[in-house]
Amino acid sequence: MTPALLAVLLAAHGAQPIAWSDWSDHVFARARKEDRFVLLDLGAVWCHWCHVMDETTYKDAQVAALVRARFVPVRVDQDQRPDLSNRYEDYGWPATVVFDMSGAELVKLQGYVPPARMASLLKAIIDDPTPGPSVLGAGEPPVTPAALPRLSDAQRADLRGLLGSRYDHEQGGWGFTHKFLDWDAVEYCILRARAGDEAAGAMAHETLAKQTKLVDPVWGGVYQYSDSGDWDHPHFEKIMQMQAENLRLFSLAYAEWKDPAHLKAARDIHRFLTTFLMSPEGAFYTSQDADVVPGEHSAEYFALGDAERRRRGIPRVDTHRYARENAWAVNALVAFRGATGEDEPLREAERAARWIVANRGLPGGGFRHDEMDAAGPYLGDTVAAGRAFLSLYRATHDDEWRRRAEDAAVFIASRFRAPGVAGFVTAAGGRPQRDENVLVARLGAGLAAATGKAEHRTLAEPAMRYLASAQIAPQPQTGGVLLADQELVAP
C-alpha cells in the first residue's frame, strides 16, 4: 500500500469510528460482495486489555481508516459465544483473527495489539492476502480415540508425573507465568492426599494458601489471575467461573482439612457472589469488570477501602444471566453448604437452579445459554446444569434433581456427540473441547455412581476415549483428565 493511497484513506475515513457488526454468515456475504476481509475482535466485557485496545488501537485514525476501507469489522463478547470462545481460547482476550472473504483464517493474534502494529498488519494483509505464520502450521492434528474408555496404567502414571513436573515449587501453583487456581489439579491432589499421597497434599495446601492472595480483602471475590510469575500482580476482573470454582475448591478443602483459612476464603467469595452478582430473582450475573474507567489500570482503586471505592464508582457488572454460569454457581453453593452445614447456601443454590429451569430450559432436558442465542445450544450450558442438578440431588435426595440431571445427560448424548470421532462437541458443527469433555465424563460417572444405573457410563465413555487419546491426555492441566478417569475407574 503506497503512502499516497494511505493518505487518501485517512482523508476519507480517518475521523470516523469503526461500525462493528455481530458475528454471522452475513458478514462473509458482505465481504464477498464488497471484496473485503473480515476482522474479528473477540474479547470480554470484563477484560482490561480489551478496553485498552478499544481506547487506543481502534480509535487510532490510521487503523480506523484501514478497517473502514477494506474490512468488515466484527466484535464478539466471548462470554456470549462459547463456540467462538472455545475455538480461539488459546489466543486469550482480546483475540484478533482476520479472515478472507471465504472464511479462511489469515492471521491470529493473542492479546493487546498496539496501533502501529495493527496498522502495519492491516496494510500487509491488503497487500498480500495469504495466510501468515500465525495460521500456517497451526492446524490441529486429528484425534485418534483411545481404544478403551479410560487411561492405561502407563498413561495414568505419566499424567501423574506431568502433574508434579508442571508444579512451580518456588512460587506454588501450576503454571509459571500466570498464577491462578487450577481447580482440577487441586481437587485431584486432595483425593490423592486422602489416599496417603503427602506430596499431592502439600501441593494442594500451598496452592490454596497462595491463592488467598487473589481474594479481594474488602469486597470478597477472587481476581482472575496474577501475572509476572508471582501472586502479587493481579488482574482485577472477577468472573463467574473463577468465583464458582474457587468457592467450590476452598469448600472441599475445608471439608477435608478444617483449615480456618480455607473457610475464610470461601466465605469471602460467597459474600461477593451474594452482594455483587446475585440478581433480585436469585439468578447470578456473569462478571464484574477489571476497570472503573475503561482502559485505566485499577491497582490503586482496589487498594482502597469500601467507602473510598464507592465514592469513585463501582466497576461495571455484566448483567447477562447465562445458564452455564448460574449452574457453576449452583455447584459451588452446594459444596459450600456441604462444608459448613448451613442451609442458606443450599436455598440459594435451589433458587438459582429453578431460575435456570424456568428461564433457560429447552425441550428434551437441555438449556439455552442466554435469553436468545445467536447460535447453539451449547454443550457447556447443559453439562454444567446436569452437574448442578446432580449436586443438588446428592445434597437433598430430591428425585426432581435426579430426573433433571438424567434428562440433561440424555440431551447431551442426542445433540452433542462428535460425528465420526470420540467426544462431544461444543455446538453443532463444532469441535470437541477438552474441559467440556472432562465435565461430560464426570457427569456420566457421577450419575452412574449416584443412581446405580450402569447405562450412564455410556455418556462418560465416549468423552473418556477422547480425553485418553495420545493427542489430548498429556496437554497442560492434566488434573481434569485424571479426575474423570478416577471417577470412572473407582467412583
Euclidean distance between CA atoms 279 and 296, whole angstroms: 27
CATH 3.40.30.10 fits 3-127, yes or no: yes
Contact (Cβ atoms closer than 8 angstroms) between residue 462 and residue 447: no
CB 389, CB 360: distance < 8 Å:
no
pLDDT of residue 139: 63
The per-residue pLDDT for 374 is: 85
pTM: 0.94
- Alpha-carbon distance of 125 to 484, in angstroms, equals 44
At 258 the three-state DSSP class reads coil
Mean pLDDT by groups of 10 residues along the chain of 491 residues: 54 69 94 98 96 96 96 97 92 92 95 97 96 76 89 96 96 94 98 97 98 98 96 97 98 98 98 98 98 93 98 97 98 98 98 98 98 94 98 98 98 93 91 96 98 95 96 95 95 68
Tens of pLDDT, residues 387-426: 999 999 999 999 999 999 999 999 999 999 998 778 999 9
In the chain, where are the structural domains located?
3-127, 153-489
Whether 66 and 122 have beta carbons less than 8 Å apart is answered as: yes
Q: Alpha helix (H) ranges present in 323-398? A: 323-340, 344-360, 379-396
CA–CA distance, 160 with 200 (Å, rounded to integer): 10
d(CA 88, CA 169): 30
The pairing of strands 317-318 and 225-226 is unpaired
Task: Measure CA 256 to chain center.
Answer: 27
Asked whether the CA dihedral 307, 311, 313, 319 is positive or negative, the reply is positive
Note whether 438 and 483 are within 8 A (CB).
Answer: yes
CATH top class, domain 153-489: mainly alpha
Asked if 349 and 334 count as a contact pair (C-beta separation under 8 A), the reply is: yes
pLDDT of residue 90: 82
Per DSSP, helices labelled H in 221-343 are 240-257, 260-272, 299-302, 306-312, 323-340
Largest CA distance in the chain: 74
Q: Decide whether 3-127 matches 153-489 in CATH topology.
A: no
* DSSP 8-class letter at 273: I
Which of helix, strand or coil describes residue 436? helix
Residue 243 is predicted with a pLDDT of 98
Give Cβ neighbours of residue 300 (< 8 Å, ≥ 6 apart). Answer: none
Q: How far apart are CA 26 and CA 129, in angstroms?
A: 21
Cα-based distances in Å from 31 to 74, 100, 468: 11, 8, 41
- Please write the tens of the pLDDT for every residue from 92-135: 899 999 999 999 999 999 999 999 999 999 999 999 999 988 88
User: Cell 438424567 identifies what position?
Assistant: 406
The residues pairing with 73 across neighbouring beta strands, listed in sequence order, are 39
Q: Please give the single-letter amino acid code of residue 376.
A: G
Dig out the grid coordinates for 432 from the structure. Answer: 470437541
Residues 159 and 150: their CA atoms lie apart, in Å, by 13
> Beta strand 37-43 with 234-235: parallel, antiparallel or unpaired?
unpaired
Interhelix angle for 479-489 vs 457-467, to 10°? 140
